């Protein structure tokens, strides 16, 4: 992506914001920033993004200042701003909606509602699950920060999962002129041959677990598989592979629980992020730790405390920012 576009300028401004607040800026870096700032359009991008973002980071600065040394304050700030950079893809959607001058405000709002999914037919904000009755009588439950579109036609009943996770309770095709009920993601599709199943997606693949009866799964490469009750697979561009996340555990979020059995802590943190309006940052070493147990999604403070008690990690809170090492 070109750094001369609005999105590219936003990325560059965020990069410089992190560098300048790292606590160890070199003279060469300062000179590089001044040279970047002098280019046409760059100062406007900097003032529109860096000013509001620095103000938004005020709670983290104040919290760290009350409890940590000056060096820890700078560290907390750079970690917070690194988390901002990790969400640049979402920021691009925000910029498209409101323009670069409102990008920072939209970035803050994105933690409450996924801004890139505002156009979805069905969606949920951070920390909220919701059930929807579809036109055919099927029931769809979305996990927090999830989004889906409805595409019903004369030949099929299709749900397109854009983001997050859902549980589908499909009305039988026999009651709807034989039209199949399908859940589609960017990685393939699940055709219901029964009633109840859970589907979730991330950037690289999608997961499906059968809660009742069976389904037919087709991956993006054309590979197909029948899936029976209590079976689960992960599918994507490279085909299908078994997944040891049992369907009942994978759908426990409907009851406000996160149930994991030998999963990486990074995956657990990803699940908690959907239920917490603040940001959680985790170090690579901590993210690789294996986790077992059941944790509350509706009380993320309790979940983080439980993880800190059972794993060799340190969990530090800076207001809206949590850092795990």
Task: Report yes or no: 280 and 273 within 8 Å, Cβ to Cβ.
Answer: yes
> What proportion of the chain, given as a percentage, has pLDDT over 90?
51
Instruction: Sort strands 181-185 and 157-169 into parallel, antiparallel or unpaired.
Output: parallel
Residue 113: per-residue pLDDT: 67
Average pLDDT over residues 286-302: 95
Could you give the CA distance from residue 257 to residue 153 in angstroms, rounded to a whole number?
A: 35
**Domain definitions of the chain by residue range:** 6-110, 132-247, 256-324
**Residue 100: pLDDT above 60?**
no
User: To the nearest whole number, what is the mean pLDDT of the chain?
Assistant: 80
- Return the axis-axis angle of helices 42-56 and 27-37, rounded to nearest 10°: 120
Tokens standing for residue 72: 């820890």
With bands split at pLDDT 50, 70 and 90, how would you rate the model's confidence at 59? very low
- Reply yes or no on whether the pLDDT at 64 is more than 70: no
Per CATH, which fold does 256-324 belong to?
Answer: Phage tail protein beta-alpha-beta fold (3.55.50)
Answer whether residue 65 shows pLDDT above 60.
no
Give the long-range contacts of residues 71-74, CB within 8 A, separation 24 or more.
71/23, 74/21, 74/22, 74/23
Contacts of 256 (CB under 8 A, 6+ apart): 129, 296, 297, 298
What is the rounded distance in angstroms from the CA atom of residue 147 to the CA atom of residue 166? 9
pLDDT digits (tens, 9 = 90+) for 312-323: 999 998 878 899
pTM above threshold 0.85:
no
Residue percentage of the chain with pLDDT more than 70: 72
Domain 132-247 has CATH 3.40.50.2000: no
Residue 203 pLDDT? 86
At 241-272, the pLDDT tens digits run 988 889 999 999 999 999 999 999 999 999 99
Q: What is the pLDDT of residues 133-187, one digit of tens each?
A: 999 999 999 999 999 999 999 999 999 999 999 999 999 877 788 899 999 999 9
pLDDT band of 69, cuts 50, 70, 90: very low
Mean pLDDT of 64-92: 42
- Reported as a single tens digit per residue, the pLDDT across 120-133 is 899 999 999 999 99
Give the confidence band of 23 by pLDDT, cuts at 50, 70, 90. low
Under a CB-based contact definition with an 8 Å cutoff, are residues 38 and 45 in contact? no
- β partners of residue 191: 182, 216
Contact 80, 321 (CB under 8 A): yes
Higher pLDDT, 34 or 87: 34
Predicted local confidence at residue 195, as pLDDT: 85
Q: Six-digit token pair at 76?
A: 């907390």
Q: Which residue has the higher pLDDT, 252 or 193?
A: 252
**Could you give the CA distance from residue 162 to residue 108 in angstroms, rounded to a whole number?**
21
């Amino acid at each position: 992506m070109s750094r001369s576009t609005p999105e590219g300028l936003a990325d560059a401004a965020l990069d410089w914001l992190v560098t300048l607040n790292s606590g160890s800026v070199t003279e060469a870096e300062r000179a590089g920033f001044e040279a970047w700032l002098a280019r046409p359009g760059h100062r406007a991008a900097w003032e529109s993004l860096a000013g509001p973002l620095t103000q938004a980071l005020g709670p983290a600065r104040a919290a760290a200042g009350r409890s940590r040394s000056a060096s820890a304050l700078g560290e907390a700030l750079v970690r917070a701003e690194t988390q901002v950079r990790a969400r640049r893809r979402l920021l691009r959607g925000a910029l498209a909606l409101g323009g670069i001058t409102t990008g920072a405000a939209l970035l803050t709002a994105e933690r409450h509602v996924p801004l890139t999914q505002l156009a979805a037919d069905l969606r949920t904000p951070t920390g909220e699950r919701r059930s929807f009755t579809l036109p055919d009588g099927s029931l769809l439950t979305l996990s927090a920060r999830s989004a889906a579109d409805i595409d019903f036609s004369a030949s099929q009943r299709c749900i397109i999962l854009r983001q997050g996770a859902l549980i589908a309770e499909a009305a039988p095709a026999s009651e709807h002129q034989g039209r199949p009920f399908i859940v589609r993601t960017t990685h393939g599709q699940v055709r219901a041959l029964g009633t109840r199943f859970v589907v979730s997606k991330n950037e690289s693949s999608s997961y499906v677990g059968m809660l009742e009866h069976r389904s037919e799964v087709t991956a993006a490469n054309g590979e197909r598989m029948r899936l029976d009750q209590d079976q689960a697979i992960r599918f994507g561009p490279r085909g299908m592979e078994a997944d040891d996340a049992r369907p009942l555990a994978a759908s426990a979020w409907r009851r406000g629980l996160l149930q994991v059995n030998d999963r990486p802590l990074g995956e657990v943190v990803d699940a908690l992020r959907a239920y917490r309006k603040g940001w959680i940052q985790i170090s690579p070493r901590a993210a690789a730790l294996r986790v077992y147990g059941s944790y509350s999604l509706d009380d993320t403070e309790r979940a983080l405390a439980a993880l800190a008690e059972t794993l060799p990690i340190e969990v530090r809170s800076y207001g809206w920012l949590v850092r795990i090492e």
